[in-house]
A and B are shown apart, each in its own frame.
Chain A
Amino acid sequence: DAGVIQSPRHEVTEMGQEVTLRCKPISGHNSLFWYRQTMMRGLELLIYFNNNVPIDDSGMPEDRFSAKMPNASFSTLKIQPSEPRDSAVYFCASRPERGELFFGEGSRLTVL
């Protein structure tokens, strides 16, 4: 299995631009998570889906952030408009019904 696949690996953009991060979870995993990691705040949960349905989005910073999971093999995290404080590494992770979380390699976002 290829593991959790994220794209892009790196993104540099200017303030105000739209950013879309993509994730393909491991086949057969029914839960998908989006995390943001910074030096100051560590690993923060943004949102997670169970069977493609958003369960908890309380970690989404504000209305500029949105996430979708149109099917079991794809999810997106969108930031519009982006701001410099959104600069971070964004991780997607998936897990089966009960078991450990498998992380993707992350998308490093820099907003200038």
Chain B
Amino acid sequence: EDKVVQSPLSLVVHEGDTVTLNCSYEVTNFRSLLWYKQEKKAPTFLFMLTSSGIEKKSGRLSSILDKKELFSILNITATQTGDSAIYLCAVEEAGANNLFFGTGTRLTVIP
């Protein structure tokens, strides 16, 4: 059974569009949720979320966590071709130090 489910699996948009990526999870003792961006090589860190309702923001990217409904969203506004990547969501369980990754959302931004 998958502990972390991301949707959509893939998405194609035009430059300037706004996108919302979804991540739902099911873990016993939640500690944190992390978002990563993976272009051609290694995943790079975007956000770590631990508290519900507090938005994390970095430029055109923002993310929020809902611990009651067990999901997070990643928003990208005014998308650019450089945003094309796989976006990975990972969830950490308390006491385990392990991260469970979803399969990712592949975003393609067309000029």
Contacts and interface: CB of A to CB of B under 8 A. Distances in A.
Interface in B25-43: 34, 36, 41-43
Contacts, number: 47
Interface string A33-47: 101000001111100
B88 A43 contact: yes
Nearest to B101: A43
Nearest to B47: A100
**Secondary structure dominating the interface of A:** strand
Contacts of B58: none
Interface in A44-88: 44-45, 48, 50, 55-56
Interface residues of A, number: 22
B42 A42 contact: no
18 contacts: A33-B98, A33-B99, A35-B101, A42-B102, A42-B103, A43-B88, A43-B103, A45-B98, A45-B99, A48-B97, A48-B98, A55-B98, A91-B42, A91-B43, A95-B97, A100-B34, A100-B45, A102-B45
Interface of A: 31, 33, 35, 41-45, 48, 50, 55-56, 91, 95, 99-106
